[in-house]
Structure 1
Amino acid sequence: MMEDRIRENLDRIRGRIAEAARRSGRAPDAVRLVAVTKKNPPERILPLIACGQLDLGENFPQELWKKVEALADRPVRWHLIGHLQTNKAKRTAAMVHLIHSVDSLRLLRLIDDLESPPAVLLQANCSAEEAKHGWAPEAMLAEAEAIASCARVPIVGLMTMAGYDTTNEEARPTFALLRELRDQMRSRTGLDLPELSMGMSGDFEAGIEEGATLVRVGSALFEGLDAP
């Protein structure tokens, strides 16, 4: 059954997260799984919620809006993990627990001006791929003072994505760079920045070993199922 397969996948991913956390010298609960539900309908999400997986992530604001409405009676903590256009920021911000993908000072300032801004992560392009959004590390450091001046929005950490289709070991330098950038940003801004969101289905174990506190796993949770 679909529900059984999703539960098995979730248990397996949780086990791998726990082992990677132990290898990094941390307790398993130091790393939070964000289940990425992109393109999966509510009936595939309900088994995750039933297993206590309440942190759910969406890439696209419009899809997020629909699922927030469809699952409004469930105790979900929604995360936006994909690019957020400024014209969708106000509506999206009201629905989410955390925005992982604040990728410019302009967007950060817009969220800072909202009446009740959600917590955010600053997206860094640590793989230096032109197709990816986010600050280049040196650009983020150059704007550290301006970032810190956005005092209303809770800036709780940094996020990055490794190169497309990378293995754990190929992704590791990207994740190590984000951790180093976080440490530099701490020094320049005085912000605590406790969260590091890095690692997806193919490389989350390296992300954890390099210090991730949040991993964004989607396809591995729905492995073995027909395409939605």
Structure 2
Amino acid sequence: MDTITQRWQAIKASIQAAAQDAGRNPEQVTLLAVSKAHPASAIRQVWHAGQHQFGENYLQEALAKQLELQDLAIEWHFIGPLQSNKTQQIANHFSWVHGVDRLKIAERLNAARSDTLPPLQVCIQVNVSKEDSKSGVNAEEALKLATSINGMPKLQLRGLMAIPAPTPDHAEQQAQFHQVRLIYDHLIQQGIALDTLSIGMSEDFPAAIAEGATIVRVGSAIFGPRHSHNPA
């Protein structure tokens, strides 16, 4: 058995354990394998092990992999920063977009999505760590953006995504994820239908699962250190 598959199996087991520790059904947590900067051959290995959802950050790299792997039934998620000039291709080559953080991007994705495709599944990115280097809306802006997206016929708002400030402390990790959960709960209380919390990565997904994560985005813990990439 190859090492990538072994690591993937170990992550799946860790997700199951974290969910059980939190008193949750492990089937409520989806593993999104973040394959940016890793070759299509690595994706193919993990797909054959049973992983069918993959996340990519760089558009041109992702499009090349999609072409090479078109024989596989893969659900592609775009999880990188969204640039206006790339919304046309992102809207039509992915099933999910994590990280919509402004109205202009949502409007462009909605306008670009083909009528022949089902609605694009989207998450709003919130910035709970208030880091200037990170995208995302604050709690007040989230409701306004969610309401706007709900009026767009080619987008389906699913929930929230966040990338908290890195910390090795489990309690601090969980405290940050708790802030995301509070915003999520508030939006639901305001009548916004949500079912997705895309929080947690390789270093902190157990804390995210404890706070209700439904998607955890894991890359290096499955694929190993990243290789060079073309950030396009």
Is contact 2:146–2:192 with CA below 8 Å preserved after alignment? no
Q: How does 1:60-79 map to 2 (within 5 A)?
A: 60-79=58-77
User: Where does structure 2 lack aligned partners over 5 or more consecutive residues?
Assistant: none
Matched with 1:98 is 96
Alpha-carbon deviation of 1:142?
4.6
Deviations 1:132-178 (A, max 9, x none): 01112222235454343334410011100111354433221221111
- Displacement of 1:45: 1.6
Q: Per-residue CA shift, 1:190-216, capped at 9, x if unaligned? A: 232100000000001101110000000
1:51-70 deviation line (CA, Å, top 9, x unaligned) = 01010001111211111111
- Structure 1 residue corresponding to 2:16, chosen from 2, 15, 18: 18
Contact 1:38/1:57 (CA < 8 Å) preserved in 2? Answer: yes
The DSSP-based 3-state class of the residue aligned with 1:94 is: helix
The whole-number CA distance in structure 1 between the counterparts of 2:182 and 2:26 is 22
Cα drift, residue 119 of structure 1: 0.7
Distance 1:44 1:147, change over 3 A: closer
Partner Cα distance (2:169, 2:220) in 1: 15
Match of 1:136 among 135, 138, 141: 138
Secondary structure at the aligned position of 1:154 is classed as: strand
**In 1: Cα distance, 2:200 partner to 2:84 partner:** 25
Inter-partner Cα distance in structure 1 for 2:157 and 2:143 = 15
Look up the SS of the partner of 1:193 in the other structure. coil
Partner in structure 2 of residue 202 of structure 1: 203
Matches within 5 A, 1:20-99: 20-99=18-97
Aligned to 1:119: 121
Residue deviations 1:86-105 (CA, integer Å, cap 9, x gap)? 21112112111211111111
Pick from 167, 170, 175: which aligns with 1:168?
A: 170
Specify the code of the residue in structure 1 equivalent to 2:164.
Answer: A
After TM superposition, the runs of 4+ consecutive aligned structure 1 residues lying more than 2 A away are: 112-117, 141-152, 164-170, 225-228
**Percent of paired sites with the same residue:** 36
1:10-39 residue CA offsets vs partner (Å, 9 max, x unmatched): 111000100111122221111000000111
Instruction: Give the alignment of 1:140-155 within 5 angstroms.
Output: 140-155=142-157
Alignment CA distance shift 1:226-1:215 (3 Å)? closer
Under a length normalisation based on structure 2, what TM-score does the superposition of the two structures give? 0.90
Flag structure 1 segments of 5+ consecutive residues without an equivalent.
none
Letter in 2 for 1:43: S
Task: Return the alpha-carbon distance in structure 2 between the equivalents of residues 82 and 166 of structure 1.
Answer: 23
Structure 1 counterpart of 2:201, one-letter code: M
* TM-score, normalisation: structure 1: 0.91
Cα RMSD for the two superposed structures: 1.8
Question: CA–CA distance in 2 between the matches of 1:195 and 1:227?
Answer: 30
Letter in structure 2 aligned against 1:7: T
Residue from 180, 183, 204 that aligns with 2:182? 180
Contact preservation (8 Å) 1:65, 1:92 = no
Residues 227 and 84 of structure 1: CA distance in aligned 2, closer, same or farther (over 3 Å): closer
Q: How far has the Cα of 1:115 moved from its partner?
A: 3.5
